[in-house]
Amino acid sequence: MQEKLHCDFLIIGSGIAGLYTAYHLADLGSVVLITKSSLLESNTSYAQGGIAGVLDEHDSYESHIQDTLKAGAGLCDEEAVKILVYEGPKHIKKLIELGAKFKTTPEGNLDLHREGGHSFNRIVHAGDLTGKEVAEVLINSIKNKNIQVLENTSAVELITQFHLDEPGDPILKEPVCYGAYVYSRKTWEIFKIISKATILATGGAGQVYLHNTNPEVSTGDGVALAYKAGAIITNMEFYQFHPTVLYNPNQSSFLITEALRGYGAKLLDYEGKPFMHKYDQRKELAPRDIVARAIDAEMKKSGSPHVYLDITHKNPEETKEQFPHIYQTCLRMGIDVTKQWIPVVPAAHYMCGGVEVDYWGRTRLKGLFAVGEVAYTGVHGGNRLASNSLLEGLVFGYRIYEYLKNNFIEKASKSIKPWYKEGLNNPEEWILVQHNFQEIKNIMWNYVGIVRSNLRLERALRRINLLYDEVIDFYRRTVIQNKILELRNITLVAKIIILSALNRKESRGLHYSTDYPENRNPSKQYTRVMRTVGKEFYLLKS
């Protein structure tokens, strides 16, 4: 017998965006929050740097706005940026009210860091474990709320008008989301969760790349779910590569926070010489796209596998106190950062495109919202300013709550088809799943990375198209399991990224092509937003 749940609000994902939205929506009705691993396993928990906000009387909203617009390479939605900056500080204060322990100065003021692209110290932090601190505070805050948490549960497909068990042509109906079919990783059961509003808060898709800073759960699930349901997907060619990840072959990537460069760390080439002055007058504090490309260029020129980050000139005790997690982690790997240079390389870090939403988190489908890294609000444009991501999850998560508080959404009264879950269990073919994962990661890293060209992108598309056909055939024939769902999603996201990159005939922000000169001027004719809906791609002026 297939299980069915009803709720007012279904939230898919448990990072800062999902948890903060759930915390507020629980005041309006029943909430079911699903997460495909544990509540703590999200990009939020891995975030080191902090949350940007105008919290110093000498700082200004206009300064934060301009820093964000400049980093976004002419593609930000200015109104969305203003919303982020003006509304952000109250949500940082709300986290403190809920128990977040951000670092303070001896005088009791917030200890504000500066990171690349910022013109002022405005980043609150909990040492180098800010994300973990915030996640734990929010998890604790939702415990006594009207929230049912389902861990180890994945969304298979969003329920739309195509799943209604009634006659009529679903294509002619208004696109609506009624909830989701979900899969229990423990029981293998697929069941329906029917809701008034469904909120995607699934994070990014870092696992599409061979080298990335994301947890294993970051497989682009939300983008794939929304795309299949007919939502608009925007600007997926802009994938941010974090410039400084610890070079440690054959082990999981470890992020070296940008705050270390804000603290004074210098980038050195393989021979120990500074090089950032050759690429940008802001040197180590240039936006991430510029720093990542500079490191990539230096590695290619020298043939070296990494560059270095040097913090040995700073006070050792202060470094240990400011960055205890980085210090201890590097020390376990044989590197004393107070005495030795840190070998670093860029790695895929953050998805700046995503499911297109308005200023209230609404997608093209009635009843479907998106928030956090999975959403495209227009805040990040062609490149994300450091530490604006956690802030975005707070601001627009609360805006979804505000919208739902003031706008009635009718409860789904339609009869919805059960999930047809027949299929073959092919354990001997599981090796193919693993091979496909690895092949996709290699294709994306080699051809759709920091520097691209039309030739590389076309080669990548040919290979991904073949893999996509194989994966979908395998998905349709086989009993659904988590890795098959992830493979289906990551293959689709890879294809969308490549197609989006091929359709941008310029170099801008995080999309850098050797076939086109770099363009950061928003008035140029090629400035545009790349959008996809269903299987059709179209371009609009930004």
The residues annotated with a catalytic role in the active site are 288
State the CB neighbour count (10 A cutoff) for residue 5: 17
Half-sphere exposure of 481 (CA within 13 A, CB side): 12
Facing residues of 182 across strands? Answer: 155, 191
Cα–Cα dist 441/213, whole Å: 13
Q: Which residue has 């293998």 as its token pair?
A: 188
Amino acid, res. 441: K
Task: Find all residues with CB under 8 Å of 323, minimum gap 6, and list them.
Answer: 127, 128, 257, 259, 260, 263, 337
Tokens of 218: 């970051």
State the CB neighbour count (10 A cutoff) for residue 296: 19
Beta strand extents in 251-394 (DSSP E only):
266-268, 307-310, 342-351, 354-356, 368-370, 375-376
Tokens of 505: 């005939």
320: left (phi over 0), alpha (psi -120 to 50) or beta: alpha
Q: Which residue has 């020390």 as its token pair?
A: 331
Facing residues of 9 across strands? Answer: 31, 197
Tokens of 452: 């691209």
Cα–Cα dist 511/504, whole Å: 8
Q: Which residue has 């759930």 as its token pair?
A: 22
Cα–Cα dist 122/541, whole Å: 32
Cα–Cα dist 267/343, whole Å: 10
Tokens of 131: 């994300």
Amino acid, res. 263: Y
Phi, psi of 505 (to 5 degrees): -95, 55
Phi, psi of 166 (to 5 degrees): -155, 160
State the CB neighbour count (10 A cutoff) for residue 282: 15
Stated as kind and residue range, the H or E segment containing 99 is none
Cα–Cα dist 322/318, whole Å: 6
